[in-house]
Amino acid sequence: MNRALRPLIATTLIFALAYVAAVLQYPSMLSTRVLGNFLTDNAFLGIAAVGMTFVIISGGIDLSVGAVIGFTTVLIATLIMWAGLHPFAAFAVALGVAALFGAVMGAAIHYLKVPSFIVTLAGMFLARGGASVLSPDSIGIKHEVYTAISRSYILLPGGGRLTVIGLVMLAVFAVGIILAHRTRFGSYVYALGGSETSAALMGVPVARTTVLVYTLSATLAGLAGIVFSLYTSAGYSLSALGVELDAIAAVVIGGTLLTGGYGFIAGTFIGVMLQGLVQTYIVFDGTLSSWWTKIVIGGLLFLFILLQRLVFSASSPKGKVFWKT
């Protein structure tokens, strides 16, 4: 068995066990209603986490994700409410700006040989600051498109609602899985995370791949911003504070190695859902402070980093070799 699969299997097991335990305590948690809310409430986090998974597999990190989400919500709100743009036009502009922002960060990381941590930290301050300059106050978005989107959903058996933004997240995961595992671009991303020197010698377009990875991450953060603005019907410069860290946690809990080279998009999905489960449990309980979410996530994160250490530092199993002479 591929040893990289082990953390993913562990995550899946933990999620299943935690869900069963929660359902035993609160039977009403086993409903499509709760599941639908899982998807809706975590849509923006899930979308951003897909981009983060690509970045981390490539051996980098993107700290600007939360700030880009915040900036995008403000940009969309100002474009719609102040400039009178149609929401879809505003979405297109926002995605374009986010993509360009990511491309510039990727180029800086590759060509200036600055660690991604530093470049995206600068990106974080820029985006967050830019959002505050656009508007320091929250801007409510009122538009018939927003009302229409928030009213439309697919009714699941049992009364659950699969909302548009939940669907967007599922689609992003589906495309992400194909992109990572079934395209040349995906194999280049894993190659970068494995060894940049080897990748370059093997003909991987290192510059293009690096730029594209950060472009992808920022674009998905932009999409997460759009989803967030649909979710809250507002644009606020301080929204989605610290979401990049939640996304990193989801990626790592999902079995992706922080040092790059190994990981699964599907694992990130479970990582996001696990965070959602903890939050939902706390809501059901009603007596616990919401900060318990952070404590549980912190504990899980620590557990998984330990687990990865064990799996990857143990001498790898030797493959069987048959020599024909």
Chain residues binding another protein by CB under 8 A are 2-4, 178, 182-184, 186-188, 190-191, 193-195, 197-199, 201-204, 261-262, 316-325
As a dihedral over the C-alpha atoms of residue 24, residue 27, residue 31, residue 37, rounded to 10 degrees, the angle is -80
Which residue in the block uniquely carries the two structure tokens 């290192």? 206
Q: 160 or 263, CB closer to another protein?
A: 263
As measured in angstroms, the least distance from the Cβ of 191 to another protein is 5
Contact between 249 and 272 (Cβ < 8 Å):
no
Tokens at residue 282, please?
């706390």
As measured in angstroms, the least distance from the Cβ of 324 to another protein is 4
Residue partners of 202: CB distance under 8 A and separation at least 6? 191
Crossing angle between the packed helical segments 87-111 and 144-151, to the nearest 10 degrees: 80
Can you say whether residue 86 is alpha, beta or left, with left for phi > 0 and alpha for psi between -120 and 50 degrees? beta
- Return d(Cα 68, Cα 54) in angstroms, integer: 17
Q: 147 or 259, CB closer to another protein?
A: 259
Residue 60 has what DSSP assignment? Answer: -
Find, among 6, 27, 42, 1, the residue nearest to 274 by Cα: 42
As measured in angstroms, the least distance from the Cβ of 184 to another protein is 6
Q: 204 or 218, CB closer to another protein?
A: 204
Q: 31 or 195, CB closer to another protein?
A: 195
Residue 317 has what DSSP assignment? Answer: P
Residue 155 has what DSSP assignment? Answer: E
As measured in angstroms, the least distance from the Cβ of 170 to another protein is 20
As measured in angstroms, the least distance from the Cβ of 177 to another protein is 12
As measured in angstroms, the least distance from the Cβ of 145 to another protein is 32
As measured in angstroms, the least distance from the Cβ of 199 to another protein is 7
Q: 4 or 249, CB closer to another protein?
A: 4
- Return d(Cα 85, Cα 91) in angstroms, integer: 10
Q: 130 or 255, CB closer to another protein?
A: 255
Q: 161 or 194, CB closer to another protein?
A: 194
